[in-house]
Amino acid sequence: MATISIADNDARIQHSIGSGGNVANSTTFTIDFPFFDLDDINVIITDSLGNDTSLTRGTGVNTFAVTGTAVDDGFSGGNITLGSVYTSVTVTVFRDIPVTRTTDFATSGPFNIAALNTELDRIVAIQQELETNISRALILPATDPLAGIVFPNSTTRASKFLAFDANGNAIAASTGSWQGDWGASRTYALGDIVKDTSTGSIYIANASHTSSGSQPLTTNTDAAKWDQMVDISTVTTAETNAGNSATAAGNSATAAAASATDAAFSDDWAVKTDGIVDDGTTQDYSSKAYAVGGTGVTDSAGRGSAKEWATDTLNTCDGTEYSSKEYAIGTGDNSGMNTGSSKQWSLGGGTGFDRDTAVTGSGLTAEYSARYYANQAKNNVQGFVDVYYGSFASDTAAEDYQINDNEGSVNVGDLYFNSSDNVMRVRSFSGWNDVAADTTTFATNGFAIAMAIAL
């Protein structure tokens, strides 16, 4: 009889069962790799949600049976049948040989070549399984300057995600999944991100909890369980300041009109516009001069007519300051005004009130309108949602959301949390890759050895 031949494969094969299901104890699934004992074969069922169920060799529910093609020292291949009916699942069949010494050789006398051949086959098969596990583990590329990666201790990484600092070292991070608008009576996990609809600000949960109370989150009963990520109140403050500027300009016009009214004592006080009025007691200018302009009032230091203060957009009214209209809707293009009008602070700078043109300053000192900062805040929120999709069961589900629901595109650097594997996934040029590892499987023999070698 022939002996086992160990080919270069990963001793692992997957089969799919569709919606029609399999026939219990009848439908066969091929094993295309050799094994030494029926107990070397392991089977895992994965449903459409990514939930795994490990089967045991035997009969009944959640079991499997193995039939092998016998050779001298084991089985060259074979097939399995399942003890239960499954639909829309993936069947993973793999070999796991116990790492034990099964044969001892005499120090002298006849040498058992057949036993030696079997032992060498087992060693190569175990190495093959280790190679498979290592290739599926987190490993550093050969060109990486780091000698290895050490995870933070269990206390530091508890309830957090795997991330990397600026030097590429492993750290524990807390950013979780996007949950949309905050709501009461909802269960939030550590790292979940929400929007406070009463303020527009973005918050991240620093503790798992069931929400209660109402917005804003700054005064909510669970306020201590949220940290602010994006503060929208700065935009509201800019809008308020712009409104205050407009009010101040209106007050200036009112004060000028009041001054004109107070001057109405006589014909000169009422209508003289060619110079100062002197009634022997008081020397000043007439109401009309203060109202519409006149010698000594128009464009004069410390004065300026009410009309100038209200409507002049060409020059300063008193040599230093500009009119209410200029501060309200001016373009700043009138002999040097550089503080910006209310309209500019509201809509945008320059003569065209362009949103993306600075109202005052340039470069790092540039200051923009309320409309600009509101747009920046909106773009920041949308930009975050475009990069981080949220939590999905698979790459396909995440991409479907981004393209069809979010009406965006899938780009390199995009992120989502894979709820099936409990890992963060990042889009690279070659496809989706894990960013954060699920450490729940580190305790298995083969995977523990693989991770020890890889890391």
Nearest-CA neighbor of 37 among 78, 9, 91? Answer: 78
Q: Is residue 430 part of a domain?
A: yes
Is residue 335 over pLDDT 50?
no
Is residue 442 over pLDDT 50?
no
Is residue 77 over pLDDT 90?
yes
Residues 240, 189 within the same domain: no
The whole-number average pLDDT for the span 249-264 is 62
The whole-number average pLDDT for the span 202-209 is 86
Instruction: Report the pLDDT value the prediction gives residue 317, as an integer from 0 to 100.
Output: 74
Residues 300, 403 within the same domain: no
Q: Is residue 149 part of a domain?
A: no
Q: Is residue 171 part of a domain?
A: no
310 CB contacts (<8 Å, ≥6 apart)? 253, 256, 323, 324, 325
Residues 384, 287 within the same domain: no
Q: Is residue 216 part of a domain?
A: yes
The whole-number average pLDDT for the span 278-301 is 85
The whole-number average pLDDT for the span 324-334 is 69
Q: How many domains does the chain have?
A: 4
Instruction: Report the pLDDT value the prediction gives residue 338, as an integer from 0 to 100.
Output: 59
User: To 5 degrees, how large is the angle CA 392–CA 397–CA 399?
Assistant: 110
Residues 335, 240 within the same domain: yes
Residues 99, 46 within the same domain: yes
Are 346 and 328 in contact, with CB atoms under 8 Å apart? no
The whole-number average pLDDT for the span 276-299 is 85
Q: Which residue has the higher pLDDT, 26 or 441?
A: 26
- Residue range 31-60, pLDDT digits in tens: 999 999 999 999 999 999 999 999 999 999
Residues 222, 265 within the same domain: no
Residues 357, 240 within the same domain: yes
Residues 340, 386 within the same domain: no
Q: Of the ranges 12-26, 107-121, 228-242, 317-331, which is most confident?
A: 12-26
Query: Which region, left, alpha or beta, applies to residue 31 given φ > 0 means left and ψ of -120 to 50 means alpha?
Result: beta
Is residue 449 over pLDDT 50?
no
Residues 23, 129 within the same domain: yes
Domain that holds residue 429: 377-439
Are 104 and 83 in contact, with CB atoms under 8 Å apart? no
Instruction: Report the pLDDT value the prediction gives residue 455, as an integer from 0 to 100.
Output: 47
**Residue holding tokens 């712009």?**
242
Confidence class of residue 380 from pLDDT cuts 50, 70 and 90?
confident
Are 417 and 390 in contact, with CB atoms under 8 Å apart? yes
Are 34 and 75 in contact, with CB atoms under 8 Å apart? yes
Instruction: Report the pLDDT value the prediction gives residue 87, as an integer from 0 to 100.
Output: 97
**Residue holding tokens 């309209």?**
343
Instruction: Report the pLDDT value the prediction gives residue 85, as an integer from 0 to 100.
Output: 97
DSSP-based helix, strand, coil % in the chain, nearest 5: 30, 25, 45
Nearest-CA neighbor of 304 among 330, 282, 326? Answer: 326
Instruction: Report the pLDDT value the prediction gives residue 265, as an integer from 0 to 100.
Output: 56
Q: Of the ranges 7-16, 234-243, 279-288, 409-418, which is most confident?
A: 409-418
What's the first-to-final CA gap in the chain, in angstroms? 43
Q: Which amino acid is at 449?
A: I
The whole-number average pLDDT for the span 107-121 is 77
Instruction: Report the pLDDT value the prediction gives residue 411, as an integer from 0 to 100.
Output: 93
Residues 338, 388 within the same domain: no
- Residue range 270-286, pLDDT digits in tens: 888 888 888 888 888 88
Q: Is residue 85 part of a domain?
A: yes
Instruction: Report the pLDDT value the prediction gives residue 176, as an integer from 0 to 100.
Output: 65
The whole-number average pLDDT for the span 190-215 is 89
How much is the mean pLDDT over the chain? 83
- Residue range 129-187, pLDDT digits in tens: 887 777 677 777 777 878 778 888 877 778 777 777 778 887 777 666 788 999 999 98
**What pTM was estimated for this model as a whole?**
0.38
Q: Name the percent of the chain lying above pLDDT 90.
A: 35
User: What phi, psi does 404 have (nearest 5°)?
Assistant: -95, -40
